[in-house]
Chain A
Amino acid sequence: MATAAPAAHPAPATHPAPRGTCPFAPPPAYQQAREDTPVTRVTLWDGTPCWLVTRHQEARALLADPRFSADATRPGFPFLSAAARHLGAGKTSFIRMDDPEHHRLRRMLTGDFTIRRTAALRPAVQQAADRLLDAMTADRTGADLVAEFALPLPSLVICLLLGVPYQDHEFFQRCSRTLLRRDSPIEEVVAAQDELTAYLDALTDRKRTEPDDAILSRLVARGELSTEDIGAMGRLLLIAGHETTANMTALSVLALLRHPDQLAHLRAHPEATPAAVEELLRWLSIVQTGVTRVATEDVEIGGVLIRAGEGVVCQINTANRDGRRYPDGDALDLTRDTRQHLAFGFGVHQCLGQPLARLELEIALDTLLRRLPGLRLAVPFEEIRFRHEMTVYGVETLPVTW
């Protein structure tokens, strides 16, 4: 029997597309698109057409290609929500800039996130993890792991690094949630952005008279940056520094609880936690909306001509499950070769904080599994609410017992 050839022009899909029955898996429409063709046409929320790159090789090549711009002020840059469009039109951080300006600003921070500097944080991160678990487990046998562990751990650490008072965490976590919601009303986005900016401006001003050793203070001391520039960097680090790791931690725990064989492997081999973290990063790929770029000249990708001024979304979660690169890519296998996964992106914009994220995830998982040998869900799996409307995927709450 002849197999039907893939359609020459697959039906246009939307972005975002809904997930299917497995809440860990990328949208089935995108998984199918990846099998049909390396590059697909999609329609964004506002009706704008955009290219969707779903395979590993093409996504990786595109992210490393300077002909694709991360500059949100360029005509044709694709925005994945009204909130993103508003934020892209305002003062952006260097993740929405190209070199050489991106390079200049990023380099002011790279010294703070080297492998060595991050490794030196291990005792502080371990102590924070232990204290949170002490509080969570004292006199109780159940808790919401998101609220009591996964979210506070990276929040405490990024506050320490930036020089932001942790006591303000409810405020900045609320702003962050609004800014990362795809369906936030635009007036709420404007308010959250303005409030967070005003907060960081005031904090930056205070660092001028009361300096400390943390990042915000040292950015002030360089004397090269406006308060506005420092505010944009501070917003980026504060939001990226806690939302991503928090969601990865909770989702990783849930994924392990749903894969008892993998959990047993990790409990038996705690030394393999760093490798497990890499596989969880690949398999979960929590930046669920993908990474956006705009072509600055005509470029052929996967046999498709992308014209200058056309927008592209690199769909990280389908690329990271591409069987061409990761055999049986939909399977969670903590022992597999995960090299070159795209969970932190690729190219010169690749995640600045990835050594810190890896350290936090390693310590979070290791500490949880070591201290709570009976860790399990406290509610049926079907009751877990997933963050479908957020740029960064995760769970709203994770009720556990031990």
Chain B
Amino acid sequence: MIVHVDPDRCCGAGQCVLAAPEVFDQREEDGTVLLLDPRPPAALAREVADAVAACPGGAIRLEEGAPR
């Protein structure tokens, strides 16, 4: 699983941080997405999928990849 974020589409609602705080954070200055872990462990798959679904701006995309 590889996570891609598009800060230009991010509206800073913080939903990803609530869903998967190990993977996402927000930039201090404007609240836009900060990707902490682009290749999260498979154990976080559900949390990351929740973050993708919850993102109101559609700013998170998943790419299937070999689990780390």
Give A residues with C-beta under 8 Å from B.
64, 103, 106-107, 110-116, 339-340, 344-352, 354-355
Contacts and interface: CB of A to CB of B under 8 A. Distances in A.
A347 B12 contact: no
B33 to A, nearest CB: 11
Nearest to A116: B26
B11 A106 contact: yes
A354 B32 CA distance: 15
Contact of A339 (B25, B27, B50, B56): B50
A111 B30 contact: yes
Nearest to B12: A110
Going nearest first, the 9 A-B pairs with the smallest beta carbon separation are A110-B12, A110-B31, A350-B56, A114-B26, A348-B11, A114-B31, A115-B14, A115-B17, A111-B30
A56 to B, nearest CB: 13
A355 B16 CA distance: 12
Nearest to B57: A348
User: For the complex, would chain A's binding face be called helix, strand, loop or mixed by DSSP majority?
Assistant: loop
A64 B52 CA distance: 13
Interface in B31-53: 31-32, 50, 53
7 contacts: A106-B12, A115-B14, A116-B26, A339-B50, A340-B54, A349-B56, A350-B56
A111 B53 CA distance: 22
B28 to A, nearest CB: 7
Contact of A64 (B17, B30, B31, B56): B56
B13 A107 contact: no
A339 B53 contact: yes
B50 to A, nearest CB: 6
Contact of A107 (B25, B28, B30): B30
A349 B11 CA distance: 8
A348 B56 contact: yes
Given A111-B28, A111-B29, A339 B54 contact: yes
A355 B14 contact: yes
B57 A113 contact: no
Which among A340, A348, A352 has the greatest number of chain B C-beta atoms within 10 A? A348
Contact of A346 (B18, B32, B56): B56
B47 to A, nearest CB: 11
Interface in B1-19: 9, 11-15, 17-18
Given A111-B30, A111-B31, A103 B53 contact: no
A345 B15 CA distance: 12
B12 A113 contact: yes
Nearest to B19: A339
A354 B15 CA distance: 10
B54 A354 contact: no
Contact of B31 (A113, A345, A346, A351): A113
Contacts of A350: 11, 13, 15, 56
Contacts of B57: 347-348
Contacts of A345: 56
Contacts of B9: 348
A217 B3 CA distance: 37
A328 B17 CA distance: 29
Contacts of B29: 111
Nearest to A107: B30
B26 A107 contact: no
Contacts of B56: 64, 345-350
Contacts of A354: 13-14
Nearest to B27: A111
A193 to B, nearest CB: 27
Nearest to B24: A115
Given A106-B12, A107-B32, 17 more contacts: A64-B56, A107-B31, A110-B11, A110-B30, A111-B29, A111-B30, A111-B31, A112-B31, A113-B12, A114-B12, A114-B26, A116-B26, A340-B54, A345-B56, A350-B13, A350-B15, A354-B14
